[in-house]
Amino acid sequence: MIHNLASVRNTLSPRNAQEAYHDAVYYRDEMRELFLRGDISLRERALAESLFWHSAQIANMMRGRKYVPMSWKDSMRRSQTSITGISASSSPAGLVGH
């Protein structure tokens, strides 16, 4: 799976940005599941997360486009809050970032 995430990052372009993003989310989620089952180490999970967020430069590629699908925007928002499970707007004051 780490090789797959690295491949997504290495082949990322404005032309395949949406497909690459969805692939990166899939592989990241698979790595999280493997971690929860104890099948991979914390180091491997951290590497997967790092590769995923490096691939998140996809969002920057999408900003210049005239049309960005609503599902794409929603998916990006969910990915940004999926690490903690809470969004900055819904968290109690003082808890985000601590």
Tell me: the pLDDT tens digits for 70-86?
666 666 666 655 554 44
Q: Which domain holds residue 47?
A: 2-81
Are the CB atoms for 27 and 14 separated by under 8 Å?
no
Query: What pLDDT is recorded for position 73?
Result: 64
CATH of the domain at 18: 1.20.58
4: pLDDT confidence band, cut at 50, 70 and 90? very high
Can you tell me the distance from the alpha carbon of 61 to that of 75, in angstroms, rounded to the nearest whole number?
15
Is residue 27 within a helix (H) or strand (E), and if so which, with residue range?
Answer: helix 17-36
Tell me: the pLDDT tens digits for 12-71?
887 888 888 889 989 999 999 999 999 999 999 999 999 988 887 766 666 666 666 666
Q: Kindly write down the DSSP assignment for every residue of 31-90, as one continuous string.
A: HHHHHHTTSS-HHHHHHHHHHHHHHTTHHHHHHTSS---HHHHHHHHHHHHTTTSS-TTT
Can you tell me the distance from the alpha carbon of 27 to that of 33, in angstroms, rounded to the nearest whole number?
10
Average pLDDT along the chain: 75
Total structural domains in the chain?
1
Query: What pLDDT is recorded for position 59?
Result: 61
